[in-house]
Amino acid sequence: MNKFSLLPIIFFIALMPVRSQDILLEQDVNADTVVPSFGPNRKVFRHFFGGLGFVVGPDNPGGEVRYGYSKEFYGGLRYKFRISNFYALGFDIGWRNSNYTLKKTPGKILPNNIQHDKERLFYNTAFLTFYNRINFGRRGDHIGRFLDIGARVNWAFNVIHFTKDKLDTAGINNGGIIKTRTTQLLYTKPFFFDAVVRVGINRYVFFVSYRLSELFKPVDPELTLLYPDLPLIMAGMEVGFHK
């Protein structure tokens, strides 16, 4: 075979696609050093929470409450933004259901002087809280121990005055129990404000809130009737739904 007979073979081999080596495992070393920005102790974190609180502050004559029965349930979504290893800012949005159970007392005037078997004021409230967080100790990627100090604005979008009375004899409707549910109350303010302090370890939190504004307004322009305010302080426990 002479050299000219080899030319077609060499030409054919040159036209064949060159097959590179298959990559079985690819690893980006730089990607391994990137720290995630979302997490309990990262730059940004958010989680749901829920809590139970009880009225603990002193009440006022004419509007006394039953302690232990007067309480609130609440829940919402919390955002946290880490500023440094020991300091963070954040806000909450959520809903509160507060129940103030009124006592039967001779001097009762809230919202009238009628003595009912059971009487409550229910506050359904949407809230927004801004808080400062001080962290303590080493935490890793966990919430850890912290102290929150914040302020909360509340919108009472639905307030209900509820009463229940048991009749000794059947009433005009031939029944033994009368319940009333009154809404669009003229004496309640739509907005009020709280100071909030929270102490927590990971998901478990103890809180105290102190109301900074009154719940009621005069029912007439002459200011002849102003109801006694309800207790200012709530305290209780909260659970965060995170690891």
* Predicted local confidence at residue 1, as pLDDT: 52
- Of 129, 126, 184, residue with least CA distance to 155: 126
Is the pTM value of this prediction over 0.95? no
Q: Are 145 and 133 in contact (CB under 8 A)?
A: no
Q: Which two three-digit tokens encode residue 168?
A: 């000794």
Domains located in the chain, CATH noted: 45-241 (2.40.160)
Q: pLDDT at position 11, please?
A: 46
The three-state secondary structure class of 211 is strand
User: Per-residue confidence of the chain (243 residues) as pLDDT tens digits?
Assistant: 554 455 445 544 544 554 545 554 555 555 555 668 888 888 999 999 999 999 999 999 999 999 999 999 999 999 999 999 899 999 999 999 999 999 999 999 999 999 999 999 999 999 999 999 999 987 777 899 999 999 999 999 999 999 999 988 877 778 889 999 999 999 999 999 999 999 999 999 999 999 999 999 987 766 666 899 999 999 999 999 987
| CA pair distance 215, 230, nearest whole angstrom | 7
Total residue length of the chain: 243
The pair of structure tokens assigned to 50 is: 């829920």
DSSP code of residue 231: P
pLDDT at 172: 74
Phi, psi of 95 (to 5 degrees): -135, 140
Angle (CA) 208-211-212 rounded to 5° is 130
Closest by CA to 110, choosing from 215, 194, 184, 191, is 215
Q: What are phi and psi of 13, to 5 degrees?
A: -65, -35
**pLDDT of amino acid 7:** 47
